[in-house]
Structure 1
Amino acid sequence: MRAESLTVEAYREENTGNRSCLAWFAIGLCACFLFYKYVLQVSPSVMTADLMQAFSVHGAGLGNLAATFFYSYLIIQIFSGPLLDRFGARYIGSLALLVSALGTLLFAHADQLLWAEVGRALMGVGVAFATVTYLKVAATWFDAKRFAFLSGLVPTAVMIGAVFGQVPLAHVVSSEGWRRSLELCAILGVVFAALFLLFVRDKANAQPAAQQTRKVGWQDIINVLKRPANWLLTLYSGLAFAPLAVFAGLWGNPFLVTSYHLTTTEAASLTSLVFIGLGVGGPVFGALADYFGKRSFWMFLGGFMTLVSVLFLLYCPGLHNTVLSILMFLFGFGTSAFMLGFAMAKDMNSLLLAGTVVAMVNTGDAILGAVTEPLVGYALDLGWRGKELNHTPVFATQDYVHAFSLLPVYLVLSLVFLFWITKMMKKENLVNS
């Protein structure tokens, strides 16, 4: 039976068998899209010296180059939800994967900074649809009771992609060079796009008949934007996730190399623990929230765990490798609780607008990532004492600590916004949140 032709009755009846296989296969391909997104997002972290040398940039320049990904991501993210709600995941997702693969190929062959920025921007354009596509498919193919758990699996896909973008990619960069490594990433994107086009189908969930046929209009989108709680969740999400994106996605590796005298590969292995913690914590927090309710409690717990971990990492130098590894894991584990914010957002808005709401909340990650990566790079340049190695600036441990001091501030603010959101939702009697 084709997915497009499934009726509401068939959807309700087919909880196993063909329907279950279709649903899990679709969500699996969406997870591959997320995997690919984070391979591309964190890839500069294992080629920082190569990129600074190739394009003759320092800390702020590299931060801006990496953040170009977030600039375009941010712009497209605004439109990704409405586009998916209106046209479905199959063709939009396939096209998005192709665009990101094209951007990766352009970046790999760039010999000028401008073309590298264009390539990096195209990567951001394509992968801006990844998280929204996953959560849109989860909302329309699966029972609402599973949504927190399924959204908790997003960090698992992120973890696999980000870990692949650390140690394995670092080995490929060492042996093949950064350009050839990105060419292979581009080929992977084309393969995922083909699979997406062939196997993902758009299907109405078991919603009221009026919602199945009604198209998303501008008034629906305006109603989403008018809700203060949606904006607070957007700010919370960005503040909670930005420290991980900045530390593990770009500047953490050189910090570990400098502070603990590690090789790039050894530092990448430690950074991978952040993403492993993220991948483990996502389904754990999702399952706990589904079983016990009170999502905000688990979000507070995760945020506090992240804050403590970051404070120890930054302000307790000379940590033993075992303690350092545990803190890196807890950094990611605690951060994963922020994904419960998407379940909160879905509960507060119509299922018809799942893509739009998810895109709005996810915009917070892009905004804070786009601002913070170059800001940290600029702070590093301010403390730089002129030391270079192979025409590449070398920063001291204290420079990194000063630049990273912004991260605990973000985490404290995220907890403040979460407290505010919780008070608002109690007034609306959304008890599960």
Structure 2
Amino acid sequence: MKNETSFLKNPFFISWILALLFYSLEYAIRSSPSVMIGNLQTNYDTSSTEISSLISAYYITYSITSLAAGLFLDRYGAKKPVFFGILVLAIGCLLFGGSYYDVGYAGRLMQGMGSAMAFPAAVYIAVKAFSGKNLATAIGITQTLGMLGGSAGQKLSNSYLSSGNSVSSIWIIFGAASLILALLALLFIPKSEVSENHEKQKNIFDNYKIIFSNPQSYLCGLISGLLFAPTTIFAMIWGVNFLQKTRNISLESATVACALVPIGWAIGCPLLGWIADKIKRRIPVIVGGAILMAVSLLQLSYLPDLVSENISFLFLGIGSGAAMIPYSIIKEVNPDKVKGSAAGAINFLTFGVTTLLAPLFSKLFGSKLTIGLNDNSLLQHSLLFFVIGIFGTVIISFFLKETGNVKPAETN
């Protein structure tokens, strides 16, 4: 029993809890704007298309900063990067709560920049807090609670705004919570010994050269990005608004439906990962998850009375758990020495896809939403946009190297 609970006495255990809170908070901040598009339109006095661009700006800095997050952690340890990451997130929230569009846009960019530190930091600290036996479980908990934070962010934000509170005040609350968490991180995360060897840092940049010269890395990022897109673009940005205006359902019901996508993801990610390990095959599980997503979206589009929106979105989320499998593959198709950098690389590629697709979706479908009241065809066409991308991942996956049955020479 002593060995099983020894991690509780590890000073990095509290640090991991703080990193876990950081990751959950940033996911709540990432997803919350989806339930307040109308409020943000009024606050900034602009169109829904402009608000979509504002919300999507998060992914621009999130994807780019993901590359640097691991470098900062390796160079400085967890204490300073986590503190500054949360601090930048807090400032971004406070700026986003203002009434000037350009200031809000800068705030959203800062939110993405600060948030990019959350998951890499949680993994970095987990390595120090847990033994190898408990490490995978700790990382799985981190991923799951992050998505649950996204779901909670949508539900709680909707309840708060429905009570008559202003949209500005909720971002002040997010900012204040982030500042408190930043202070706790500064107080409780211990300093860790880090290498001052600049040659080693130089080699880290060389790692990215290796990763980005491997075509398989791009396939991993493209597959993951296309499978994440229905969550990041639809469920976390447009979904609530689309369901309200094309299906004429209440804000509360639309919020619950979209919030079930991250809950489904929290189920699907460990479940599909377990299946992939059990059958020792990665590609069939990716294809299976993609098919489940496509069927869920097609049912929602063309057979809406078959099951409720809640069930459709839950299964969409479960299927999207397959988006995490390429995170394992990219480490397996690249040399062992670059596995740490591979996580930052695929985050960059995955959310780079969101950065490119979000404005395209907004232009093609979001701009028509105001004239598409009770227009089910608009919802059908918008969801087909994602179905096409999902079927694209099925085709791309056949060019991906199967790594599930390969026994690595070295494990992390």
Q: In the aligned structure 1, how far is the partner of 2:132 from the partner of 2:26? A: 26
Unaligned runs of at least 5 residues, structure 2: none
Q: Indicate yes or no: 2:149 matched with 1:161.
A: yes
1:85-105 CA-partner distances (Å, limit 9, x unpaired): 322222111110110110000
Distance of aligned partners of 1:381 and 1:427 in 2 relative to their CA distance in 1, 3 Å threshold: closer
Q: In the aligned structure 1, how far is the partner of 2:314 from the partner of 2:148? A: 14
Structure 2 length-normalised TM: 0.87
Which position in structure 2 is the counterpart of 1:407?
386
Match of 2:267 among 280, 305, 314: 280
1:25-65 CA-partner distances (Å, limit 9, x unpaired): 44333222221121111111110111122223223212111
Count residues in correspondence: 406
Which position in structure 1 is the counterpart of 2:238?
251
Which position in structure 2 is the counterpart of 1:178?
167
Which position in structure 2 is the counterpart of 1:270?
257
The answer as to whether partners of 2:31 and 2:151 remain within 8 angstroms in 1 is no
Q: In the aligned structure 1, how far is the partner of 2:5 from the partner of 2:65? A: 36
Match of 1:357 among 342, 354, 360: 342
Match of 2:362 among 356, 360, 377: 377
Q: In the aligned structure 2, how far is the partner of 1:202 from the partner of 1:414? A: 42
1:361 deviation in Å? Answer: 0.3
Q: In the aligned structure 2, how far is the partner of 1:28 from the partner of 1:314? A: 40
Unaligned runs of at least 5 residues, structure 1: 1-12, 388-393
The answer as to whether partners of 1:236 and 1:364 remain within 8 angstroms in 2 is no
Match of 1:398 among 364, 377, 385: 377
Q: Which AA in structure 2 matches 1:410?
A: G
The answer as to whether partners of 1:70 and 1:369 remain within 8 angstroms in 2 is yes
Match of 1:192 among 177, 181, 185: 181
- The secondary structure found in structure 2 opposite 1:338 is helix
Q: Which AA in structure 2 matches 1:358?
A: A
1:396 deviation in Å? Answer: 3.4
The answer as to whether partners of 1:151 and 1:286 remain within 8 angstroms in 2 is no
Q: Which AA in structure 2 matches 1:328?
A: F
Q: In the aligned structure 2, how far is the partner of 1:293 from the partner of 1:143? A: 24
Which region of structure 1 is more displaced relative to structure 2, 99-108 or 340-349? 340-349
Q: Which AA in structure 1 matches 2:220?
A: L
Which position in structure 2 is the counterpart of 1:9?
none
The answer as to whether partners of 1:140 and 1:203 remain within 8 angstroms in 2 is no
Match of 2:351 among 359, 362, 366: 366
The answer as to whether partners of 1:379 and 1:402 remain within 8 angstroms in 2 is no
Note the aligned Cα RMSD (angstroms).
Answer: 3.2
Structure 1 length-normalised TM: 0.83
- The secondary structure found in structure 1 opposite 2:46 is coil
Q: Indicate yes or no: 2:33 matched with 1:44.
A: yes
**Where do 1:68-107 residues align within 5 Å?**
68-107=57-96
Which position in structure 2 is the counterpart of 1:421?
400
Match of 1:232 among 212, 215, 219: 219
1:307-343 CA-partner distances (Å, limit 9, x unpaired): 211221223234543xx32221111111112223223
Q: Which AA in structure 2 matches 1:366?
A: F
Distance of aligned partners of 1:343 and 1:128 in 2 relative to their CA distance in 1, 3 Å threshold: same
Q: In the aligned structure 2, how far is the partner of 1:327 from the partner of 1:18? A: 40
Q: In the aligned structure 2, how far is the partner of 1:298 from the partner of 1:431? A: 24
Q: In the aligned structure 2, how far is the partner of 1:259 from the partner of 1:319? A: 18
Distance of aligned partners of 1:18 and 1:243 in 2 relative to their CA distance in 1, 3 Å threshold: closer
The answer as to whether partners of 2:276 and 2:404 remain within 8 angstroms in 1 is no
Q: In the aligned structure 2, how far is the partner of 1:162 from the partner of 1:170? A: 13
The answer as to whether partners of 1:135 and 1:358 remain within 8 angstroms in 2 is no
The answer as to whether partners of 2:244 and 2:254 remain within 8 angstroms in 1 is yes
Distance of aligned partners of 1:427 and 1:340 in 2 relative to their CA distance in 1, 3 Å threshold: closer
1:238 deviation in Å? Answer: 0.9
**Where do 1:17-28 residues align within 5 Å?**
17-18=6-7, 21-22=10-11, 24-28=13-17
1:426 deviation in Å? Answer: 7.8
1:282 deviation in Å? Answer: 2.3
Q: Which AA in structure 2 matches 1:188?
A: A
1:384 deviation in Å? Answer: 5.3
Q: In the aligned structure 2, how far is the partner of 1:27 from the partner of 1:285? A: 25
The answer as to whether partners of 1:66 and 1:120 remain within 8 angstroms in 2 is yes
Q: Indicate yes or no: 2:102 matched with 1:117.
A: no
Which position in structure 2 is the counterpart of 1:127?
115
Q: In the aligned structure 2, how far is the partner of 1:177 from the partner of 1:385? A: 23
